[in-house]
Amino acid sequence: MTGRDVEQRFVDILTAVKASVPIPVALKTGPFFSAFGNMARRLDEAGADALVLFNRFYQPDFDLDRLEVVPNLELSTPSEIRLPLLWIAVLAGRIKASLAATTGVRSGVEVVKYLLAGADAVMSTSAVLDHGPAHLGPSTPPSGSTTSKPRSSTSMSIVSTIRSSTPRPIAFNMIPPPRSSSTITSRLRSRRPARCSS
Protein backbone atom coordinates (compact mmCIF):
# COMPACT_ATOMS: atom_id res chain seq x y z
CA MET A 1 0.00 0.00 0.00
CA THR A 2 1.47 3.37 -0.95
CA GLY A 3 1.34 6.58 1.04
CA ARG A 4 -1.23 7.89 -1.42
CA ASP A 5 -3.39 4.80 -0.77
CA VAL A 6 -3.17 5.31 2.99
CA GLU A 7 -4.19 8.96 2.69
CA GLN A 8 -7.10 8.07 0.43
CA ARG A 9 -8.23 5.42 2.93
CA PHE A 10 -8.45 8.09 5.63
CA VAL A 11 -10.57 10.25 3.36
CA ASP A 12 -12.78 7.34 2.31
CA ILE A 13 -13.42 6.22 5.88
CA LEU A 14 -14.19 9.77 6.97
CA THR A 15 -16.57 10.23 4.04
CA ALA A 16 -18.35 6.96 4.85
CA VAL A 17 -18.69 7.82 8.54
CA LYS A 18 -19.94 11.31 7.76
CA ALA A 19 -22.59 9.83 5.46
CA SER A 20 -23.70 7.40 8.17
CA VAL A 21 -24.06 9.46 11.33
CA PRO A 22 -25.91 12.72 12.01
CA ILE A 23 -23.50 13.88 14.74
CA PRO A 24 -20.24 15.83 14.31
CA VAL A 25 -17.23 13.70 13.47
CA ALA A 26 -13.81 14.37 15.00
CA LEU A 27 -10.87 12.56 13.46
CA LYS A 28 -7.83 11.76 15.56
CA THR A 29 -4.73 11.22 13.50
CA GLY A 30 -1.01 10.75 13.82
CA PRO A 31 1.51 13.17 12.33
CA PHE A 32 3.13 10.66 10.02
CA PHE A 33 2.08 11.85 6.58
CA SER A 34 4.49 13.12 3.98
CA ALA A 35 2.66 16.47 3.88
CA PHE A 36 0.46 16.81 6.94
CA GLY A 37 -0.82 20.26 5.97
CA ASN A 38 -2.21 18.86 2.73
CA MET A 39 -3.69 15.89 4.55
CA ALA A 40 -5.38 18.16 7.08
CA ARG A 41 -6.88 20.20 4.24
CA ARG A 42 -8.17 17.04 2.52
CA LEU A 43 -9.81 15.83 5.73
CA ASP A 44 -11.29 19.28 6.24
CA GLU A 45 -12.70 19.30 2.72
CA ALA A 46 -14.07 15.78 3.25
CA GLY A 47 -16.16 17.16 6.10
CA ALA A 48 -14.24 16.48 9.31
CA ASP A 49 -15.84 18.59 12.01
CA ALA A 50 -12.69 18.44 14.10
CA LEU A 51 -9.14 17.16 13.92
CA VAL A 52 -7.48 15.81 17.05
CA LEU A 53 -3.71 16.29 16.89
CA PHE A 54 -1.96 13.96 17.42
CA ASN A 55 -2.52 10.35 18.32
CA ARG A 56 0.40 8.91 20.27
CA PHE A 57 0.94 5.36 19.20
CA TYR A 58 2.39 2.57 21.27
CA GLN A 59 6.11 2.23 20.51
CA PRO A 60 7.70 -0.88 21.98
CA ASP A 61 11.27 -0.96 23.28
CA PHE A 62 13.89 -3.76 23.33
CA ASP A 63 15.27 -5.25 26.56
CA LEU A 64 18.90 -5.97 25.64
CA ASP A 65 19.58 -8.22 28.66
CA ARG A 66 16.61 -10.48 28.04
CA LEU A 67 16.54 -9.94 24.28
CA GLU A 68 12.82 -9.39 24.45
CA VAL A 69 10.43 -6.84 23.12
CA VAL A 70 9.18 -4.58 25.90
CA PRO A 71 5.63 -3.62 25.03
CA ASN A 72 5.14 -1.26 27.99
CA LEU A 73 3.79 2.25 27.64
CA GLU A 74 5.83 5.37 28.38
CA LEU A 75 3.52 8.16 29.47
CA SER A 76 4.09 11.51 27.83
CA THR A 77 6.07 14.53 29.00
CA PRO A 78 5.45 18.25 28.34
CA SER A 79 8.36 18.34 25.88
CA GLU A 80 6.16 16.34 23.51
CA ILE A 81 3.72 19.17 22.94
CA ARG A 82 5.89 20.82 20.34
CA LEU A 83 4.84 18.88 17.27
CA PRO A 84 1.08 19.23 17.85
CA LEU A 85 1.63 22.81 19.02
CA LEU A 86 3.35 23.61 15.73
CA TRP A 87 0.63 22.07 13.59
CA ILE A 88 -2.22 23.62 15.54
CA ALA A 89 -0.54 27.01 15.11
CA VAL A 90 -0.13 26.37 11.38
CA LEU A 91 -3.70 25.15 10.83
CA ALA A 92 -5.71 27.41 13.16
CA GLY A 93 -7.77 29.79 11.07
CA ARG A 94 -6.82 28.03 7.85
CA ILE A 95 -9.28 25.13 7.96
CA LYS A 96 -12.96 24.98 8.94
CA ALA A 97 -12.59 22.01 11.27
CA SER A 98 -12.14 22.63 14.98
CA LEU A 99 -8.77 21.66 16.42
CA ALA A 100 -8.25 19.61 19.56
CA ALA A 101 -4.81 19.15 21.10
CA THR A 102 -3.63 15.93 22.68
CA THR A 103 -0.14 14.92 23.90
CA GLY A 104 2.03 16.21 26.68
CA VAL A 105 -0.56 18.11 28.74
CA ARG A 106 0.76 17.76 32.27
CA SER A 107 -0.38 21.07 33.74
CA GLY A 108 -2.20 24.27 32.94
CA VAL A 109 0.98 25.55 31.29
CA GLU A 110 0.54 23.18 28.36
CA VAL A 111 -3.17 24.02 28.19
CA VAL A 112 -2.32 27.72 27.86
CA LYS A 113 0.23 27.04 25.14
CA TYR A 114 -2.17 24.94 23.09
CA LEU A 115 -4.96 27.49 23.43
CA LEU A 116 -2.60 30.28 22.41
CA ALA A 117 -1.67 28.25 19.34
CA GLY A 118 -5.35 28.15 18.40
CA ALA A 119 -6.70 24.88 19.84
CA ASP A 120 -10.44 24.77 20.45
CA ALA A 121 -10.08 21.95 22.96
CA VAL A 122 -7.20 20.46 24.95
CA MET A 123 -7.06 16.88 26.19
CA SER A 124 -4.98 15.12 28.83
CA THR A 125 -4.51 11.40 29.43
CA SER A 126 -1.06 10.61 30.87
CA ALA A 127 -1.34 13.19 33.66
CA VAL A 128 -4.73 11.86 34.68
CA LEU A 129 -3.40 8.29 34.67
CA ASP A 130 -0.46 9.38 36.85
CA HIS A 131 -2.29 11.64 39.30
CA GLY A 132 -5.98 10.80 39.04
CA PRO A 133 -8.88 13.00 37.89
CA ALA A 134 -8.35 15.50 40.75
CA HIS A 135 -5.18 16.64 38.96
CA LEU A 136 -7.37 18.52 36.51
CA GLY A 137 -8.23 20.88 39.38
CA PRO A 138 -11.19 23.18 39.78
CA SER A 139 -11.79 25.70 37.04
CA THR A 140 -12.67 28.31 39.66
CA PRO A 141 -11.55 28.56 43.32
CA PRO A 142 -14.12 27.77 46.01
CA SER A 143 -15.95 30.92 47.05
CA GLY A 144 -14.36 32.58 50.06
CA SER A 145 -11.10 30.71 49.53
CA THR A 146 -8.07 32.57 50.87
CA THR A 147 -5.48 30.11 49.66
CA SER A 148 -3.56 30.69 46.46
CA LYS A 149 -5.17 29.31 43.34
CA PRO A 150 -4.04 26.00 41.92
CA ARG A 151 -1.91 26.49 38.86
CA SER A 152 -4.50 25.11 36.49
CA SER A 153 -7.09 27.55 37.76
CA THR A 154 -4.74 30.52 37.34
CA SER A 155 -3.74 29.38 33.90
CA MET A 156 -7.34 29.00 32.79
CA SER A 157 -8.10 32.52 34.04
CA ILE A 158 -5.21 33.84 32.00
CA VAL A 159 -6.40 31.98 28.94
CA SER A 160 -9.94 33.25 29.22
CA THR A 161 -8.58 36.79 29.51
CA ILE A 162 -6.34 36.32 26.51
CA ARG A 163 -9.05 34.68 24.43
CA SER A 164 -11.64 37.32 25.23
CA SER A 165 -9.28 40.11 24.21
CA THR A 166 -7.87 38.37 21.15
CA PRO A 167 -10.18 37.78 18.20
CA ARG A 168 -7.86 35.29 16.52
CA PRO A 169 -5.36 32.84 17.94
CA ILE A 170 -2.09 34.65 18.53
CA ALA A 171 0.00 31.98 16.87
CA PHE A 172 -2.08 32.26 13.71
CA ASN A 173 -0.27 35.49 13.06
CA MET A 174 3.12 33.84 13.43
CA ILE A 175 3.04 32.19 9.99
CA PRO A 176 3.43 33.85 7.46
CA PRO A 177 5.06 36.36 7.22
CA PRO A 178 8.02 35.10 9.21
CA ARG A 179 8.79 37.13 12.29
CA SER A 180 11.71 36.98 14.66
CA SER A 181 11.15 35.13 17.92
CA SER A 182 11.61 38.41 19.81
CA THR A 183 8.75 39.93 17.81
CA ILE A 184 6.56 36.95 18.65
CA THR A 185 7.57 37.18 22.31
CA SER A 186 6.57 40.83 22.49
CA ARG A 187 3.25 40.03 20.80
CA LEU A 188 2.53 37.36 23.41
CA ARG A 189 3.52 39.74 26.22
CA SER A 190 1.34 42.52 24.89
CA ARG A 191 -1.64 40.19 25.35
CA ARG A 192 -0.61 39.05 28.82
CA PRO A 193 -3.06 40.16 31.49
CA ALA A 194 -1.63 42.62 34.04
CA ARG A 195 -2.14 40.18 36.94
CA CYS A 196 0.23 37.64 35.41
CA SER A 197 3.56 38.67 36.99
CA SER A 198 6.10 36.20 35.56
Smallest distance from ligand FMN to CB 55, Å: 6
Q: Tell me how far, at minimum, the Cβ of 51 lies from ligand FMN, in Å.
A: 13
Nearest to 74 by CA among 136, 126, 133: 126
Burial (CB count within 10 angstroms: exposed 0-12, middle 13-18, buried 19+), residue 148? exposed
d(CA 145, CA 154): 14
- Taking the least distance from each CB to ligand FMN, the nearer of 39 and 52 is 52
Using the minimum distance from each CB to ligand FMN, give the nearer residue, 111 or 170: 111
Which residue, 124 or 152, is less far from ligand FMN as judged by CB?
124
Q: Which residue ranges make up the site for ligand FMN (CB under 6 A)? A: 28, 55-56, 73, 76, 102-105, 124-126, 129
How far apart are CB 28 and ligand FMN at their closest, in Å? 5
User: Minimum Å distance from CB 107 to ligand FMN?
Assistant: 11
Q: With the CA atoms of 110, 111, 115 and 117 taken in that order, what torsion angle do they form, in degrees rounded to the nearest 10?
A: 10
**Closer CB to ligand FMN, residue 27 or residue 174?**
27
| Residue ranges with strand state E in the chain | 26-29, 50-53, 61-63, 68-70, 98-101, 121-122
